[in-house]
Amino acid sequence: MAILVTGGAGYIGSHAVKGLLAEGERVVALDNLSVGHREAIAALETVAEGRLTFVEADIGDRDTVRRTLRDHKIDSIMHFAALAQVGESVDHPLRYYRNNTASALTLLEEALDAGVARFIFSSTCATYGEPGPEFIPIPETCPQSPINPYGRSKLHVEHMLRDARAAATDAGKPFAFTALRYFNVAGSDPDGLIGEDHNPETHLIPVVLQAALGTRKFITIFGEDYDTPDGTCIRDYVHVCDLISAHIAALRALKPGEQRAYNLGIGKGYSVREVIESVRRVTGVEFEVRKGERRPGDPPTLFANPAKIREELGWEARFQSLDEIVATAWNWFREHPDGYRS
C-alpha cells in the first residue's frame, strides 16, 4: 500500500511527501513538472529510505495514472496538482478548466475504478469568492461563489467529488473524500530540505522576502484605502507544515463513504503592512515600498473560522505568529535566493 501525492514536486505537495515519509508511509509522487521541481524530489529521496517513487506524468494521462494506482496498490490520494495563479486563470480560463477540472476528472475516474478509498483534495478559500462581512471569519457554511476561473475550476472538483461519492456509496464502494479549503499557505520546511519556489512568485510573503533579498527592487501595496485598521488587505497565513499535519489528520480520520470539508487557516488575519513589518523585523533589512492601486477582486478581509477542523480533527496550528512563519520562509530564501536553481 502506498499513498499517491499528485503535484508532489510542487511547494505544498513536496511538504506533504516529507510529512508522510516522516510518518513511515510509502509514497508515490506524481507530477508533470510543468511548474514543479525535480530537485525537490531529489532532496526528498535523501530522507526517504527507499519509500518514495517518483512518476513524471500528467494527472490527465489515463494509462499512466491507471498503471500507477494498480502497480503501487494505492489506497489513498492527496491531490495537490493544479495550476494556481488567479491572474493567469483570468487570461487563460480554459487552460485552468482543462488542467484543474478535466484532468482531475480523469484522476477521479481512475481512482474510483481502482477502488481508492480515501481522497484528500486541495481546495481553496477562493471558492468562497467575496464573502460579506457577516461571513468573516469564514465558516464552511459560507456560500461558495468564486469570482475567477481558478476558484471555479476548484469548486467543480468539489462538486464532482460529492456526486461521485454519493454514487459510489449507493453502489457499495467505500470511496470517501475531504476537501480542505486553504487560506494563504506560507513558510518552509524548518529543516531547509525543501521550500517554496514559484515562478513567477505571486504570494505576498515570498514577494516581500525577495525585496529584502534584493532580487526584487521594491514591493507594491495594492490599495491602502480599504476598510481595515491600517487600510491594507488582511489575510490568514497558515504554515505549510501545519497544513500538512491537517492533511494527515484528515486522512487518518476519514471513514468509508464519508465526505468532509474544512477551512484551513489559523483563524486570524494579518494586513499587508503587518507582513512587511514582520519581514523587516525578521530579516533586519530595509527595502522600498510603493503605493499601488487596488486590484479588482481583492476583498478587504479574509480569514478562516477553523472551529470545525479543531473540533472534529483536533487540529491546531503550531505556528501562530507571523514572525515565526516568516522566519522559516526566510531561512529557505536566504539559502536559495534563486529557488531550487541556487
Ligand X SMILES: NC(=O)c1ccc[n+]([C@@H]2O[C@H](COP(=O)([O-])OP(=O)(O)OC[C@H]3O[C@@H](n4cnc5c(N)ncnc54)[C@H](O)[C@@H]3O)[C@@H](O)[C@H]2O)c1
Q: Per CB under 6 A, does 58 bind ligand X? A: yes
| Backbone Cα Rg of the chain | 19
Beta carbon of residue 225, minimum distance to ligand X (angstroms, whole number)? 25
Enumerate residues 172-231 that contact ligand X by CB under 6 A: 182, 184-185, 198, 203
Do residues 51 and 21 lie in contact, with contact meaning Cβ atoms separated by under 8 Å? yes
Q: Per CB under 6 A, does 10 bind ligand X? A: yes
Q: Which residues, at least 6 apart from 121, have a Cβ–Cβ distance to it below 8 Å? A: 79, 157, 158, 161, 177, 178, 179, 180
Q: Which of 11, 119, 270, 287 binds ligand X (CB under 6 A)?
A: 11
Q: Per CB under 6 A, does 13 bind ligand X? A: yes
Q: Per CB under 6 A, does 325 bind ligand X? A: no
Residue type, 110: E
- Closer CB to ligand X, 25 or 31, in the complex: 31
Q: Per CB under 6 A, does 234 bind ligand X? A: no
Q: Which of 53, 89, 122, 278 binds ligand X (CB under 6 A)?
A: 122
- Closer CB to ligand X, 13 or 306, in the complex: 13
Q: Per CB under 6 A, does 270 bind ligand X? A: no
All cell numbers assigned to 167: 454514487
The span from the CA of 309 to the CA of 246, in Å, is: 8
The number of helix segments (H) and strand segments (E) in the chain equals 12, 13
Q: Per CB under 6 A, does 82 bind ligand X? A: yes
What own/partner pairs with CB < 8 Å and gap ≥ 24 does 85-89 have? 85/150, 85/200, 85/202, 86/126, 86/148, 86/150, 86/151, 86/202, 86/297, 87/202, 88/150, 89/148, 89/149, 89/150, 89/153
Beta carbon of residue 171, minimum distance to ligand X (angstroms, whole number)? 27
Does residue 150 carry a catalytic annotation? Answer: yes
Instruction: Count residues binding ligand X (CB under 6 A).
Output: 30
Helix or strand or coil: residue 235?
A: strand
Helix or strand or coil: residue 105?
A: helix
Q: Per CB under 6 A, does 84 bind ligand X? A: yes
Q: Considering Cα of 169, then 173, then 174, then 179, what sign does the dihedral take?
A: negative
Of the candidates 11, 96, 128, 150, the residue annotated as catalytic is: 150
Q: Phi/psi of residue 46, each to 5°?
A: -70, -20
Q: Considering Cα of 7, then 10, then 15, then 19, what sign does the dihedral take?
A: positive
Q: Which of 3, 20, 27, 36 binds ligand X (CB under 6 A)?
A: 36
Name the DSSP class of 20: H
Q: Per CB under 6 A, does 60 bind ligand X? A: yes
- Closer CB to ligand X, 66 or 173, in the complex: 66
Q: By CB under 6 A, which span of 18-26, 74-82, 87-95, 165-173 interacts with ligand X?
A: 74-82
- Closer CB to ligand X, 255 or 318, in the complex: 318
- Closer CB to ligand X, 10 or 300, in the complex: 10
Footprint on this chain of ligand X (rule: CB under 6 A)? 6-7, 9-13, 31-36, 58-60, 80-84, 99, 103, 122, 124, 182, 184-185, 198, 203
Give me the active site residues, please: 150
